[in-house]
Structure 1
């Protein structure tokens, strides 16, 4: 019985050694990759904080309002492009819609 236990223990130790060697190879590969990456990207400045999109009820409502305002102005410009034949009038409508967009947004979504 003790020979069988010794054989199983030796087998377990051999499997553990194989797994440990595999982990060591993976760790060394990861370290080499990190060193290589640091050497290649070390001279590139990193942003101090990544820009993230705001979440929450107020931010979502603000995005919806902006999208609605832009959809309205795009719709008006499409109508102008379909029904007005002159290029000058189309360009003027586009310019006016860009300039009037903040006023339209304020009129649509006035905060009282």
Structure 2
């Protein structure tokens, strides 16, 4: 009985040692991967966080709603007017006026 327990303990210890070696190898691979990534990306500029204040959020919301409104107006023009010149005129005007209005909204 004692030999069987010793044999099972030895097998269990062997499995634990194999699992520990596998974990150590995974940690070493991760460390090398991190070092390699840091070496390759160290010369790149770091990404900057965008403005996260309440004023910036309001500006983004206002701009998003305006662009959605422009798209809806273009869809309504597309559905209401079957002739191509009217559709293209509405599209061209919206493409020209939208950036100007967005600039005026942010200032």
1:45 positional shift: 4.9
CA distance in 1, matches of 2:18, 2:103: 66
TM-score by length of 1: 0.59
CA-atom RMSD, angstroms? 3.4
TM-score by length of 2: 0.61
CA distance in 2, matches of 1:23, 1:78: 63
Show the counterpart of 1:68: 65
5+ unaligned residues in a row in structure 1: which ranges?
A: 1-10
Show the counterpart of 1:56: 53
| CA distances 1:13-68 after superposition (whole Å, capped 9, x unpaired) | xx9xx867744531222213443x479x66x9533212534311111011011112
- Greater helix fraction, Structure 1 or Structure 2: 2
5+ unaligned residues in a row in structure 2: which ranges?
A: 1-8
